Amino acid sequence: MSVLAGVNTKVLKNGDPAPAPPAAGTFRIYNMRFCPWAQRALIYASVKNIPSEVINIHLQEKPDWYFSKHYKGQVPALEHDEGKKHVIESAVIPEYLDDLFPETRILPTDPYERVQQRLLLDRLSAVAPAFYGAAQAVKNQEGRAEKFAEVLKAFENAENLLTADFYSGTSKPGFVDYLIYPNIQRAYWLAHVLKDSDFPISATDFPGPNFPKLTKWYKALEAIPEVAAASQPTEYGVGFVNEFLKGTPNYDYGL
């Protein structure tokens, strides 16, 4: 049973009343079920076993009150202390949760090792704009070859930077593994949509034979129950991407 409550509830949108503040001692994560950034917070809460209430937000018709949780109206936002504390940004919330719950710390305690995890995440981050670029190129053929080449380059870089079983540098997944997984998973979904095209990433044995280390890594990550509990099934992810590519994202896809 997952510690995440309400992951699969419908989005709140403009006109919907604001939820009551979270009860004392409880955590709330504002989310969108298919958002890779928000998923970082869900995975971290799940792996650290922090009971959390999840509220999904309609990202095109945002409720006015949501801007009091996140000044830009983006997800994720973490809310606690009876609604008095808010933390935003997908790479910051996990570090904050490690600081609040050091007994389940995922980041290393050594300052140099910790800082290297932050810097490694930066080096992998090209995966995300490459995905969005490729998704754009599906809708608008202009620059398609260059945009697909960017995806290939980002995955080659990710393959090269994987020097152990996990990006933690050990045989156990760590901060970078949990945070980059959602971005890699978006390319997995897109590979299903584009499986009969020249998209350089394979949906079968994803990301395919050119990336033997990443293939093993991805299988290991997706098999972790706490990661699965914070993820949407492939069928829904692929369905969401299909509608997203048509310009009509359905944030409640599959519900």
Is 25 a binding residue for its own copies by CB under 8 A? The answer is no
Nearer to its own copies, 112 or 198 (CB): 112
Cα–Cα distance measured from residue 158 to residue 151, given in angstroms and rounded to the nearest whole number: 11
Please say if 35 is a catalytic residue: yes
Q: Exactly one of 4, 7, 32, 35 is catalytic; which is it? A: 35
Which residues on neighbouring strands pair with residue 142, listed in sequence order? Answer: none
Q: Closest separation between CB of residue 99 and its own copies, Å?
A: 4
Q: What DSSP character marks residue 68?
A: G
Q: Give the rounded distance of the alpha carbon of 10 from its chain centre.
A: 19
Q: Which amino acid is at 139?
A: K
CB 35 within 8 A of CB 93: no
Return the number of other C-beta atoms located less than 10 Å from residue 235's C-beta.
Answer: 12
Q: Quote the DSSP letter at residue 55.
A: E
Q: For its own copies, give the closer residue by CB, 13 or 118.
A: 118
Nearest distance from C-beta of residue 107 to its own copies, angstroms: 11
Across 174-192, b (16+ Cβ under 10 Å) vs e yields bbbbbbbbbbbbbbbbbbb
Between CA 44 and CA 53 the distance in angstroms is 14
Residue 16 or 89 with smaller CB distance to its own copies = 89
Among 71, 132, 205, 219, binds its own copies (CB under 8 A): 71
Nearer to its own copies (CB atom), residue 80 or residue 192: 80
Distance CA 204, CA 224 (A): 19
Q: How far is the CB of 170 from its own copies (least distance, A)?
A: 19
Binders in 73-132 for its own copies, by CB under 8 A: 85, 87-89, 92, 95-96, 99-100, 111-112, 114-115, 118-119, 122-123
Q: How far is the CB of 123 from its own copies (least distance, A)?
A: 7
**Which residues are 28's β-sheet partners?**
53, 79
* Gyration radius (Cα) of the chain, Å: 18
Helix (H) or strand (E) holding 31: strand 27-31
Rounded to the nearest whole angstrom, what is the least distance from the CB of residue 3 to its own copies in the complex?
A: 20
Residue placing its CB nearer to its own copies in the complex, 11 or 176: 176
Residues that bind its own copies (CB under 8 A): 71, 85, 87-89, 92, 95-96, 99-100, 111-112, 114-115, 118-119, 122-123
Q: Which residues are catalytic?
A: 35
